[in-house]
Amino acid sequence: MTLGYHVIAEYERCDREKIDNEIYVEKHMKKAAELAGATIVKTVFHKFAPQGVSGVVVIQESHFAIHTWPEHDYAAIDMFTCTDKMDFKKALEYLKEAFECEILSHKMLKRGVDVSKKIKHV
């Protein structure tokens, strides 16, 4: 049994100004969630000084989260959902274009696999 799907994405060689702009990042993270088929509940984004943006798009199905390092032209994005109906590929490619990133790599983890087995704490 799988309770959720967690995509971990690495975006490299991104446009520094775009990934350091809180309003721009929020707008495109919301659009990516919509393109994936998610239902947006709420967003929270924060601009750091001197640089960087962190934020989360809370979705009915779970969340899309981002943290950027403009000084390294890099963004880390997590997409988690409790449904297998989400179209992560659309969201991943959209963000690559929106942030003008040259390199995108990602992996998907199945979450809650074998959740019925008890974990022994030591």
Active-site positions? 62, 67, 82
Q: Kindly state the tokens that stand for 5.
A: 């799907």
Measured from the Cβ of residue 49, the count of other Cβ atoms closer than 10 Å reads 5
In what side-by-side order are the strands of the sheet with 74-81?
40-47, 53-59, 62-69, 74-81, 4-12, 103-111
Please state, as a whole number, how many other Cβ atoms lie within 10 Å of the Cβ of residue 63: 17
